[in-house]
Amino acid sequence: MSAARAITLGEYLVENQEMFPYAKGELTALLSAIRLAAKVVNREINKAGIADILGATDDDNVQGERQMKLDVYANDVFIKALRQRGEVAGVASEELEDFIAFTDPIHSNAKYIVAMDPLDGSSNVDVNVSIGTIFSIYRRVTPVGTPVQLEDFLQPGSAQVAAGYVIYGSSTILVYTTGHGVHGFTLDPSLGTFLLSHESIRMPERGVIYSINEGNYVHFPDGVKRYIKYCQELDPATDRPYTSRYIGSLVSDFHRNMLKGGIYIYPTGTKSPKGKLRLLYECNPLAFIAEQAGGRATDGFQRILDIKPEELHQRVPYFAGSTAMVLEAEGFLRG
Ligand code: P6P
């Protein structure tokens, strides 16, 4: 990772715009909308401890989870920011059962769609644990100028043109890739500007951190149980026992492991027969980033980015992080 330069996210996007596959400034404008929404959400999250925005709403989202008011707020902010840009033809969100088609006149030439988890880990918000936004960007596959269809959203992750996340934590950082490396920008709250802080992030080939909710151990497949025991065995030659680190906020666990090396696992289990994490707006964007940083992301058997989605809120088992560790875990799954 080279030393950071004093350059804003906006300047960096324009500076590297010619590398985007369809460099007409549209993707730059789209990422700028996400940047704006992230600043607005960040402001509310920082106030959440005092403003009366905490506490659950009466509605349940499609996941059957109690929606935190911030979830609803973040969803509205990102959708409004994306709708205001002519580049976006539609959005799918964890908070919405179905996708939204943008059909105002300004969207008549919109070429992109966005899949997002506007506020992942929101159950952590009222205990002041960091939470995040995750987004994934595709070019639409149905004719420009017509309302987007479900097939625009059910593309394999390998078709993503950009992906990223925002962590609202001790500092607020926006990390993205457009297929040319992974770059991180930290918000300077006094300026309200994201400044380049992590250029060309590379994930260590191997690490000593494993992240999994061991409370679900009894529900895990045998291979995962064996891998966990392997992580805990004493073997100084392979730096074991590894360290267990699990925040329960995907973006935070993923980000730490990307910087330090490690593996994040959310496997199948009787409580989550297909795993808990959603393919479209959690696993795919983070898999794109993991691979762009030199890491690996699979469902234990196949590359996440090769999976053809069948439905918007599809769940998949998730093994992501340092390549050597993900391969190690896959070996235990194959017995
Ligand atoms: P569990 C948060 O709800 C989330 O989607 C991820 O952010 C997090 O990693 C995971 O679920 C935690 O799930 O079952 O371990 O509490």
**Final residue in a domain of this structure, among 164, 198, 232:** 198
C-alpha of residue 73 to centroid of ligand 1, in Å: 20
AA identity, residue 16:
N
Which residue minimizes the CA distance to atom 2 of ligand 1? 121
Give the model's pLDDT for residue 21.
Answer: 62
**Final residue in a domain of this structure, among 178, 198, 218:** 198
Give the model's pLDDT for residue 61.
Answer: 65
- 46 lies in the same domain as 155: yes
Please report whether residue 21 resides in a domain. Answer: yes
What CATH number has the domain bearing residue 75?
3.30.540.10
Using CA atoms, how far apart are residues 78 and 89, in angstroms rounded to an integer?
A: 14
- 189 lies in the same domain as 67: yes
Please report whether residue 144 resides in a domain. Answer: yes
Give the model's pLDDT for residue 54.
Answer: 58
- 78 lies in the same domain as 192: yes
- 153 lies in the same domain as 242: no
Total of domains in the chain: 2
Please report whether residue 297 resides in a domain. Answer: yes
Give the model's pLDDT for residue 27.
Answer: 87
Give the model's pLDDT for residue 270.
Answer: 83
Give the model's pLDDT for residue 4.
Answer: 57
**Final residue in a domain of this structure, among 198, 221, 248:** 198
- 49 lies in the same domain as 177: yes
Q: What residues of the chain score a pLDDT lower than 50?
A: 1
Please report whether residue 29 resides in a domain. Answer: yes
Please report whether residue 246 resides in a domain. Answer: yes
- 176 lies in the same domain as 239: no
**The Cα angle at residue 270 between residues 269 and 272, in degrees rounded to 5:** 60
Q: Which residues of 193-217 are buried (b: 16+ CB within 10 A; e: fewer)?
A: bbbbbbbebebbebbbbbbbeeebe
Please report whether residue 204 resides in a domain. Answer: no
- 218 lies in the same domain as 124: no
- 226 lies in the same domain as 164: no
Helix (H, G, I), strand (E, B) or coil at 66: strand
How does the average pLDDT of the chain come out, rounded?
Answer: 92
Give the model's pLDDT for residue 62.
Answer: 64
- 66 lies in the same domain as 147: yes
Pocket test for ligand 1, best of 250, 271, 274, 282 (most atoms within 8 A of CB): 250
- 143 lies in the same domain as 267: no
Give the model's pLDDT for residue 126.
Answer: 77
Q: Check if 167 has its Cβ closer than 6 Å to any atom of ligand 1.
A: no
Q: Check if 275 has its Cβ closer than 6 Å to any atom of ligand 1.
A: no
Give the model's pLDDT for residue 60.
Answer: 64
Q: Check if 117 has its Cβ closer than 6 Å to any atom of ligand 1.
A: no
Q: Check if 276 has its Cβ closer than 6 Å to any atom of ligand 1.
A: yes
- 86 lies in the same domain as 130: yes
Which domain range does residue 88 map to?
3-198
Q: Check if 213 has its Cβ closer than 6 Å to any atom of ligand 1.
A: yes
- 16 lies in the same domain as 107: yes
Q: Check if 120 has its Cβ closer than 6 Å to any atom of ligand 1.
A: yes
Measured over the CA atoms of residue 96, residue 101, residue 103 and residue 109, the dihedral's sign is positive
Please report whether residue 203 resides in a domain. Answer: no
For 46, 47, 102, the CA distances from 41, given in Å and listed in that order, are 9, 10, 22
C-alpha of residue 318 to centroid of ligand 1, in Å: 12
The answer to whether the beta carbons of residues 44 and 71 sit under 8 Å apart is no
C-alpha of residue 122 to centroid of ligand 1, in Å: 9
What CATH number has the domain bearing residue 308?
3.40.190.80
